[in-house]
A and B are shown apart, each in its own frame.
Chain A
Amino acid sequence: GAGVSQSPRYKVAKRGRDVALRCDSISGHVTLYWYRQTLGQGSEVLTYSQSDAQRDKSGRPSGRFSAERPERSVSTLKIQRTEQGDSAVYLCASVLGGGTEAFFGQGTRLTVV
């Protein structure tokens, strides 16, 4: 596709369950970011990975959040043992490199009940 796509658009999870959110980024893009967006705290970086697809550089280390990048243009954000405070919009963004713009997906709205 031409842009970044995320799936699912909406996800409801029971507290304590694990969830996985998918991001299909743009082929050739080097850096891929995951953000959590809430009304009170804006957009915080959860994790990002650069050209080394096997390494996950966490911007905000947390034992419950991890990202896998099985292919250069695919990333899966995993949240273990979800909590109600994890309810938010999760955005994925990819960057070709340098100062070029980041392309964003439409986000996944996660609701933990």
Chain B
Amino acid sequence: AQTVTQSQPEMSVQEAETVTLSCTYDTSESDYYLFWYKQPPSRQMILVIRQEAYKQQNATENRFSVNFQKAAKSFSLKISDSQLGDAAMYFCAYRCIQGAQKLVFGQGTRLTINP
């Protein structure tokens, strides 16, 4: 079974600084997708960034980028120039391309931005 692990229940960063959230996963599949979702207090999950496993290039979306290490099964999220609006729960997620295609989430990391 696929599992996703986020080892940092909470993280904090000073506004305008850079923070990295960790995520590791376990799978025997070779083709899959990885996601980072943000969940603000309103509870609605919002996609931050997506990575296809077959792509070696790390995905980037403005201030958000990932460090995807397929062999190590690691998928960390880097937030540059942190803003107060970045404060939220962040969830790492995995979805297999074939078969059941279940979307599996990690436990989440609560990110606090200090002004």
Residues on A close to B: CB < 8 A? 31, 33, 35, 41-43, 45, 48, 50, 57, 59, 89, 91, 93, 95, 98-99, 101-102, 104-107
Q: Is the interface of B mostly helix, strand, loop or mixed?
A: strand
Query: Are B103 and A95 in contact, CB atoms less than 8 angstroms apart?
Result: yes
* Interface segment out of the listed B14-22, B71-79, B104-112: B104-112
- Which chain B positions have C-beta within 8 A of A42? 91, 105-108
Per the CB 8 Å criterion, the residue count for chain B at the interface is: 24
For the complex, give the distance between the alpha carbons of A86 and B105 in Å: 19
For the complex, give the distance between the alpha carbons of A52 and B35 in Å: 25
A99-B95, A99-B97, A101-B50 given as contacts; is B45 within 8 A of A33 (CB)?
no
Residues on B close to A: CB < 8 A? 33, 35, 37, 42-47, 50, 52, 91, 93, 95, 97, 100-108
For the complex, give the distance between the alpha carbons of A89 and B33 in Å: 25
13 contacts between A and B (CB under 8 A): A31-B101, A33-B103, A42-B108, A45-B102, A45-B104, A59-B102, A91-B43, A95-B103, A99-B95, A102-B47, A102-B103, A104-B44, A107-B44
A95-B103, A106-B42 given as contacts; is B47 within 8 A of A101 (CB)?
yes
- Which chain A positions have C-beta within 8 A of B108? 42-43
| Closest beta carbon of chain A to B72's beta carbon, Å | 21
- Which chain A positions have C-beta within 8 A of B97? 98-99
